[in-house]
């Protein structure tokens, strides 16, 4: 257990230090910032489009972080021969793969958490659908304060203590963003203490939790592929499986009762449609907690199976 926790911690820290990790998060922050302006020209409810655009950004962000982080954690270590130094210690190959998964999954969860807070702030602000609508300066001020404080403190720690700017900004951003969303949970758009009108609802949180489960599955897939292939093959394979998983019911479900290939494909390819709540957004229906728990059980079983396959693939991988 000590070896598992130590390797997981090292993988988590190394993932945070990768420049692409912070760049993807920064790109997502920019999209969340401009999303209220991008979604104000629909012919339907603009706020529904805002919510769907935000969740789509959240999903794609977690997808690419999972792929690049998992590839860097395994494939690059094999190519650079640094994995031989770890496996020469009393560390078994299953422990190595499982620790890599936990470390990358923790990094994906942290990025997902930060992006979720940005999404909640964007939804709290909403779309200015009419000329009489006003900006939510409470949400804008909170987001601006979090951003400025994160950059200022990260720059100070980088200058004074030589801390890496990108990873420091991510960690500080998560802490300050938590403080910002807690502030908005109690203060309304008129700067009054009014928790009942905070603009934050459980529907968006449930949607974010479901997308995190999908990201964990993609993390396991990327780890399994990177144990045998390089980064480009892993990226192409994960994107292909991801897109196929989003149309699983259409590609396999309608033929599963009559065709054996469709039944096999439905079992092997993860059904990522169950983690996407677009229909609930436009139909105005709720997402019950029971559905979250069933989806979490599905994600746990599928992830466990993929990690077992990753361990089996890595057992006979030549790394020296």
pLDDT digits (tens, 9 = 90+) for 111-154: 999 999 999 999 998 887 666 778 889 999 999 999 999 999 99
- Distance CA(34)–CA(54), nearest Å, equals 10
209 and 291 Cβ atoms separated by less than 8 Å: no
Q: Give me the pLDDT at residue 43, please.
A: 60
Average pLDDT of each block of 10 consecutive residues along the chain (320 residues)?
Answer: 87 90 93 84 72 89 87 74 72 86 94 94 84 83 94 95 92 95 91 86 89 93 85 84 85 82 86 83 78 94 93 78
Q: Give me the pLDDT at residue 154, please.
A: 95
Largest CA distance in the chain: 68
- Kindly write down the DSSP assignment for every residue of 36-58, as one continuous string: HHHTTT-SS-HHHHHHHHHHHHH
Q: Give me the pLDDT at residue 183, please.
A: 94
Q: Give me the pLDDT at residue 293, please.
A: 93
> Which burial class, exposed, middle or buried, applies to 114 when counting CB atoms under 10 A from its CB (0-12, 13-18, 19+)?
buried
Q: Give me the pLDDT at residue 315, please.
A: 82
Q: With a threshold of 0.85, does the pTM exceed it?
A: yes
């Amino acid at each position: 257990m000590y070896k598992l926790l130590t390797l997981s911690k090292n993988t988590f820290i190394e993932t945070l230090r990768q420049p692409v990790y912070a760049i993807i998060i920064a790109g997502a922050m920019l999209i969340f910032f401009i999303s209220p302006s991008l979604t104000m020209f629909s012919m339907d409810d603009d706020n529904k489009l805002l919510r769907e655009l935000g969740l789509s950004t959240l999903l794609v962000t977690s997808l690419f972080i999972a792929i690049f982080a998992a590839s860097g954690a395994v494939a690059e270590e094999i190519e650079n021969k640094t994995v031989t130094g770890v496996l020469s210690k009393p560390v078994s190959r299953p422990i190595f793969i499982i620790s890599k998964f936990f470390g990358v999954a923790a990094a994906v969860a942290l990025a997902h958490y930060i992006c979720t807070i940005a999404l909640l702030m964007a939804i709290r602000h909403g779309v200015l659908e009419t000329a009489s609508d006003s900006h939510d300066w409470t949400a804008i001020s909170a987001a601006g304060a979090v951003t400025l404080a994160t950059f200022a403190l990260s720059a100070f720690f980088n200058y004074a203590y030589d801390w890496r700017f990108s990873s420091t900004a991510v960690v500080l951003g998560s802490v300050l963003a938590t403080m910002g969303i807690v502030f908005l949970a109690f203060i309304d758009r008129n700067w009054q203490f009014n928790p009942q009108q905070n603009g934050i609802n459980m529907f968006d949180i449930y949607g974010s939790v479901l997308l995190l489960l999908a990201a964990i599955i993609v993390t396991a897939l990327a780890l399994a592929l990177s144990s045998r292939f390089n980064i480009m093959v892993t990226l192409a394979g994960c994107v292909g499986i991801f897109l196929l998983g989003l149309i699983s019911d259409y590609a396999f479900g309608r033929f599963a009762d009559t065709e054996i290939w469709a039944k096999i494909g439905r079992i092997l390819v993860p059904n990522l449609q169950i983690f996407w709540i677009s229909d609930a957004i436009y139909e105005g229906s709720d997402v019950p907690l029971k559905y979250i728990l069933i989806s979490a059980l599905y994600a746990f079983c599928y992830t466990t199976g993929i990690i077992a396959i990753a361990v089996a693939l890595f057992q006979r991988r030549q790394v020296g």
